[in-house]
Structures are given as structure tokens and as C-alpha cells.
Amino acid sequence: MTELIVALDVPTFEDATKAVDSLADAVTWYKVGYESYFAFGQRLIPALRERGKKIFLDLKLHDIPNSVAGGIRSLATSGASLLTVHASGGRQMLTAAVAARDEVNAAGADLRLLAVTLLTSHSAEDLRAVGVAGDPRTIVSIRAGLAAECGIDGCVCAVDEAAIVRSRVSAGFLIVCPGIRGSGQPIDDQRRIATPTDAVLAGAVAIVVGRPVTKAPDPKAAAQAILDEIKAALPIYDSGLA
């Protein structure tokens, strides 16, 4: 079944652990991104591990190949199960990332890499403003295909791009979709959003949801509603993140 990953994009360590504890056993996977990692990641990651949770470390590594490989070696000690690199780093960077992943896994880690294809806050107009030609779907398709060729385990993309990605990669390639909102919920700073049902039908193995859960009056009820919607959908690709 498609997994729910809750994003802990919150300002304090206490906010993060309160959110995790309020969700209890309803949610296993948590995303640790910039806000929480830079502020209190050294406390949060062990706290998640102590609670038996799985960690998606969303740092979007993007640098010269040697630096990204070194970052992966260092971050592997955190115990994260998923780590993001940015597909726009190119073939050499992605290949170096894969080599570093294989190295740390041979030493006992259990790390998979996801390539971020294009931020869900970006529109075609945003891309043109920074000199990137092409529409978002084409760019995502090219970047996801490159990541797969290089041996990256999966990608992060918007739901409306997932079917295109799924059509050009192998069955084992993971597709994780952020930008998930229920009907009537505010879109905040996202542009390309979709519902949990849309994501399941598009072939996502996991969806990432932050504020609609962590800022809900009853976070556990909000998470359970998403899980119920996932279960009710008829998936076309049903392996989850196992």
C-alpha cells in the first residue's frame, strides 16, 4: 500500500516530537527537511529512531560529485532510510551518489536515494524566469530517466508527473509525491498539488504530507483520514516502501 510520510517542517524540537507522539502508531515514516534538520536534527533523528520510526532525510544534495558523495557517507551514519539528491546535479553527480550509497550499504547502512526532479512550487513561468526551457512534465521525465539510468532508487515528483515517470522506469523505481492536499484544503506555497487518491492512482509508492497533518486540530484524525483514502483507492502499483 502507498505509504504516508509526514513532514516534520516545524520550528522546534518539542513541536516535532509532540507531532510524532500524537500520531502514535498511525504513521511510521517521517520526513526531516531543512527547517528541522538545521535547527535540531541532531536531537530529532535519534528521537525518531528511539520511537521505531523510519526517516526520510530530505536535504536535496546538489554539489560537485565528490562533495555529494562525501555528504552521503556522513549522513549514512544518521540511520536515515531515504535521502534526497537533486537530479539537476547531472550524470556525474548522480553516479557518484550511487557509488557512495553502495559503499555505505556494504558497510551496514540501509540507505536508498531519491532524486528530486523539480520542486512542486515551480511552474513553467518560474522555470522560464531562471532560464530553464521546457515544461515541467518534460523536465521531470528527463531528470527521472537520468536518475534511473544512473542507479538512483527513485525520484520525487508531483502527482501529475508520476504516470509519465512510471512509464519510462522499471517497476522497482520508487516514486514519492509531495504537494498532497485534501479537497478544500489551502495549497499554501505549493503549485502542483493533488489528492491522496490521485497519487495512488498515478503509481506513487509514498506521499508526503506536512501542514495538513501537523497543523490540524487533531493530527491523528487527519492522518487517519489520509490513510483511509489511500486504502480506498485502487492502486496500479502497490509495493509501498517495503
Q: Determine the pLDDT at residue 237.
A: 61
Q: Determine the pLDDT at residue 146.
A: 98
- Distance from C-alpha of 230 to C-alpha of 217, rounded to nearest angstrom: 21
Q: Determine the pLDDT at residue 182.
A: 60
Identify whether 241 is part of a domain: no
**Domain with 204 in it:** 3-232
Per residue in 187-227, pLDDT (tens digit) is 454 454 689 999 999 889 999 999 999 999 999 999 999 99
Identify whether 237 is part of a domain: no
Q: Domains in the chain: how many in total?
A: 1
Residues annotated as part of the active site = 60
Identify whether 242 is part of a domain: no
Identify whether 68 is part of a domain: yes
Task: Tell me the sheet residues that pair with 194.
Answer: 180
Q: Is the distance from CB of 240 to CB of 3 less than 8 angstroms? A: yes
Identify whether 239 is part of a domain: no
Q: Determine the pLDDT at residue 184.
A: 47
Identify whether 238 is part of a domain: no
Q: Determine the pLDDT at residue 122.
A: 83
Q: Extract the residue ranges of the chain whose pLDDT is less than 70.
A: 182-193, 234-239, 242
pTM of the complete model? 0.92
Give me the CATH number covering residue 131. Answer: 3.20.20.70
Q: Determine the pLDDT at residue 123.
A: 83
Identify whether 27 is part of a domain: yes
Amino acid (one-letter) located at 17: T
Cα 41 to the center of its chain, rounded Å: 17
Residue 201, C-alpha cell as written in the block = 492512482
Per residue in 13-32, pLDDT (tens digit) is 999 999 999 999 999 999 99
Identify whether 204 is part of a domain: yes
Q: Rounded to the nearest 5°, which phi and psi values hold at 40?
A: -155, 30
